Structure 1
Amino acid sequence: MPRRETVRTKFEHANPILSVADMNRSLRYYVGVLGFSNAEWGGDEFTCVTRDGANIYLSEGDQGHPGTWVWLGVDDVEALYEEYKESGARILHPPENFPWACEMKVADPDGHVLRFGSDPEDVT
């Protein structure tokens, strides 16, 4: 019997959904401090914030648990670090070089941790 080729569905995106206690507070932080834009269709209980193609859904009081960690790839984590120091972001850890990326950690008002990373720095 001939072997059947398996057709795999192509994945398009992975977008986290974060539970937030107060949508207005979270939007002030994600838009005003972290530089995301709020979706035009967003409401009081569910929305999506976007920055350069990175999407994070926010759900008030539902869908998830406080303290979720999310990794976001960026082109220059050092420049983002400087931007976030100026904007007042709650930086948990400044950029640090690892074999997989140069990363920093930022907290949001609900205790979620956003790990921003860019290509690792050459340490030769």
Structure 2
Amino acid sequence: MPISANPDPRSFPAPREGFVVTHLLIVADQDRSREFYRAVLGAEVVRERDPVALRLSNTWLILNVGGGPTDDKPDVIAAPPQSAHVLTSALNIRVADIQAVYREWKARGAEFLTEPKDRGSEIRCYMKDPDGHIIEVGQSTGILRQQA
């Protein structure tokens, strides 16, 4: 998808009332991460950088580089994951057909930790973005049967 040089203001996460939830990821390289989410997951690039703003299906991702404290977070340093083996948060993507999504995204270059695993109430697997952020990809199965 092309980068929107002048995005429609209605497509940017700036509500006139209420609120919108976005997910901020601190990344090492905005261009590399933007291209991963665009090319592999099909995100629409709304803002190219500083920070990157992406529309991903029915949600928003903001990608920004790390940095030192600022006046509104004086004791906080922003940094990408220091270890791909420590999970502190995860983007969770729910899909209708996990097997099809797994094949499609793997063909586009996604690095999955394992193939999808059936857990009874869901089928899920995990992938990593270029900085090692974990992304859970899951399909609800048993939860839907239990509610029926």
**Could you tell me the TM-score, scaled by structure 1's length?**
0.74
Question: Aligned pair 1:29/2:50, yes or no?
Answer: no
| Equivalent residue, structure 2, for 1:84 | 105
2:52 corresponds in structure 1 to 47
Q: How many residues align structurally?
A: 110
My pick for the range that moved more, 105-114 or 85-94, is 85-94
State the 4+ residue runs in structure 1 displaced beyond 3 angstroms: 11-14, 62-65
CA RMSD of aligned residues (A): 2.3
Contact conserved, 2:97 with 2:139, CA < 8 A, in 1? yes
In the aligned structure 1, how far is the partner of 2:137 from the partner of 2:21? 16
- CA offsets 1:15-72 (integer angstroms, 9 cap, x no match): 3211011000111111112221111xx1422122223213222112255642542211
Q: Unpaired segments of 5 or more residues in structure 2?
A: 1-17, 68-77, 143-148
Q: Which structure: greater strand fraction? A: 1
Share of identical aligned residues, percent? 27
Aligned equivalents of 1:34, 1:26: Cα separation in 2: 11
Cα distance in 2 between the residues matched to 1:50 and 1:64 = 22
2:118 pairs, out of 80, 94, 97, with 97
